[in-house]
Amino acid sequence: MTVPRANGIGSRLHVGVVSVLSAMIVAAAAPAAAQPKPEVPQYGGTLTTSTVHPTISVQTWDPADWNWKNAQDTGPFYEGLLSGDLTKAKRLGGKHTFVADAWIPTEAVRGELAESWEWKENPMRLEVKLRKGVKFPEKPGVMKSRELVAEDVVFSYKRMDSSPKKIPTYYDHIERVDAKDSHTVVFTFKKFSAEWDYRFGWGQYSLIMPKEVADAGASNWKNLNGTGPYMLTAHVASSQSTYVRNPDYWDSIVIGGQSYKLPFTDRLIYRPMKDEAAQHAALRTGKLDMLQSVRWSSVEELKKNVPQLQWSRHLSMSAPVLAMRVDQKPFDDVRVRRALNMAVNKQEIAKAFYGGQAEVLAYPQHPDYIGYYEPLNAMPESVRDLYTYNPERAKKLLAEAGHPNGFTFTVQVCACSPNTMDLLPMITAYLEKVGVKVIIKPMEVGAFVSTITNKTHAAGTLMDMGLTNPTTALRKSFLTGQRWNLSLWSDAEFDKRIDAMYEERDLARRQQMVRDMTKTVLDTAAFVWLPSPYVHTAWWPWVKNYGGELRGAGERAAPIYARVWIDQAMKKKMGF
């Protein structure tokens, strides 16, 4: 497989060889350490989870609606060309946590429906060889069982690209997609994109569906069918989605030197629950096998009441931000935006609201994004000022901007997020101290997203903004015309910098470009930048082959769930 690579491979290879030789010498001098014998997988049973978005129900079943959560709900049956290589998870000795909402470093990408892929030039194109023998199972009334072919990939791409709901510019780097033969797909590029693998490989908007499903109606859950490890068999809106094992699934896993066909469980159940207390009760009583998003404030109580639970912790891959619409007064004045940042005590929020379990600067770059992230002390003074509590300076800036007595504005917030709902009163209290009054407008998730899509959202919007990946974090929130550009910030020169960054093939240079642009967007103060909390995941010990991984390909968790098995004897012995 040939892919564009950064400079420095040779030197790293040399170091790697030396390390291997050193390890061999040490191994020869000492007896090998005994390795624990892996557990033998079990088939059968049901895995019940609330998913990483426990409060949010299915928003749409149709990928062409371009809804970010669609991949979570359709992921058990739809697959992509690529996915994360879960054998490289930290719990297995690898380097990767697989918790990011949409970031898989190149070395952790594997082929899913793609068996191999290769870059070619003149014209620039990517040739993808599909796995043979991958099948869509029979779906009565929709389609007979048949093999996945290249035309399915072409159809899925064109359907997404032609959707009126498409994210602007998302596929602009692609000239065309063709089926070279029954198992070869060719992506011809207009220009290189650093996100080529994310955009139509393993990201949220790269799922492959058969034309038969689209013809039958892709928004009706009863028609849905894919090549994935599970099949959707029942759905109760806002309550439960039930998936059963796909007996024809193609993938397998090697454990203890033996190959096992996936998935292990007979059923997978998603249970969305808006109420946190209900989530915790379901976990305590074993009605949930895992709860993948637990706020820090609930952890100690759960640990005390249910000491058998297993835990992992990660810094949230979404950050609360208060976006200010710069196309409206008074937020068209950067002095006002800087004032609101200085009026909010971010260190106190991290300490008092989050109990110290938060990082002050973790957006738009996450500390896990090695090479892209820079800490606060590396930022210019003008950026550091935005993170320094200074209400007197805030009042002075407001007066200079013509608002000596402050002003009033509306902030909309999604009722689906307990974190932002609880955080907003604290923010409003800070702003009131400098004369700025906030009208709070809670909204249900559907209406909330609709206002953003249609650009009718309030002057202020408080939400947990997903980071996605190092490059998308800048594109989606700060490029002119993008759907999730909540502040409607627009700068022609910055747009050109975004384009140049995507076309840069050299990783080191691209990382420097991202670091520079991150400083730029922080300094514009289009958001009130807020601390990012740590989030916990809890699961019962009968959930095996799991270590807190959340996403295997964009928002798709199904590759992780397919590898989990339930120790049913342990579960029964524990009284469940």
Q: Is 312 within 8 Å of 537 (Cβ atoms)?
A: yes
Contact 167, 102 (CB under 8 A): no
Provide the b/e sequence for 254-292 (b: ≥16 CB within 10 Å). Answer: eeeeeebebbbbebbbbbbbbebeebbebbbeeebbbbb
State how far the Cα of 349 lies from the Cα of 532, in Å rounded to an integer.
Answer: 10
Helices 334-343 and 418-432 pack at an angle, to 10 degrees, of: 100
CA separation for the pair 257, 243 (Å, rounded): 29
Domain 41-274+540-569 has CATH 3.40.50.150: no
Report the DSSP beta bridge partners of residue 181: 184
Q: Which two tokens stand for residue 149?
A: 């072919």
User: What is 318-533's CATH superfamily?
Assistant: Dipeptide-binding Protein; Domain 3 (3.10.105.10)
Q: Which residues contact 21 (CB under 8 A, 6 or more apart)?
A: none
The confidence score (pLDDT) of residue 416 equals 87
Domain boundaries, the chain: 41-274+540-569, 318-533
Tell me whether residue 239 is exposed, middle or buried, using C-beta atoms within 10 angstroms of its C-beta: 0 to 12, 13 to 18, 19 or more: exposed
* pLDDT for res 313: 96
The string of pLDDT tens digits covering residues 531-566 is: 999 999 999 999 999 999 999 998 999 999 999 999
Respond yes or no on whether the N-terminal peptide bond of residue 63 is cis (omega within 30° of 0): no
| Nearest residue to 290 via CA among 572, 560, 72, 68 | 560
Low-confidence ranges of the chain (pLDDT < 70): 1-36
What local confidence, expressed as pLDDT, does residue 6 receive?
34
pLDDT given for residue 101 in this prediction: 86
Cβ-in-10-Å burial (0-12, 13-18, 19+) of 210 comes to buried
Q: Are 555 and 72 in contact (CB under 8 A)?
A: yes
Q: How far is CA 164 from CA 9, 158, 439, 480, in A?
A: 42, 12, 34, 18
- Count the neighbouring beta carbons within 10 Å of the beta carbon of residue 302: 18
The pTM of the full predicted model, rounded to 2 decimals, is 0.87
**Rounded to 5 degrees, what angle do the CA atoms 410, 448, 387 make?**
55
Quote the pLDDT of residue 36.
65
With tokens 């931000």, the residue in question is 321
Query: Is cis: bond before 404, omega within 30 of 0?
Result: no
Give residue 14's pLDDT: 32
Please state the φ and ψ torsions of residue 170, each to the nearest 5 degrees.
-60, -40
Cα distances (angstroms) measured from residue 219 to each of 65, 225, 346, 499: 9, 12, 43, 34
Contacts of 163 (CB under 8 A, 6+ apart): 64, 65, 66
Do the Cβ atoms of 286 and 46 come closer than 8 Å? no
CA atoms of 149 and 152, how far apart (whole Å)? 6
CA 229 to chain centre: 21
Instruction: Name beta bridge partners: 119.
Output: 126
CA dist 420 and 411 (Å) reads 11
What is the C-alpha separation between 70 and 404, in angstroms, rounded? 46
Quote the DSSP letter at residue 106: G
Contact (CB, 8 A) for 505 and 4: yes
Q: Which percentage of the chain shows pLDDT scores above 90?
A: 89
3-state helix, strand, coil in the chain (%, to 5): 35, 25, 45
Please check whether residue 130 is in contact with residue 114, taking contact to mean a CB–CB distance below 8 angstroms.
Answer: yes
Q: Could you give the count of Cα atoms lying within 13 Å of 397 in the half-sphere of its Cβ?
A: 22
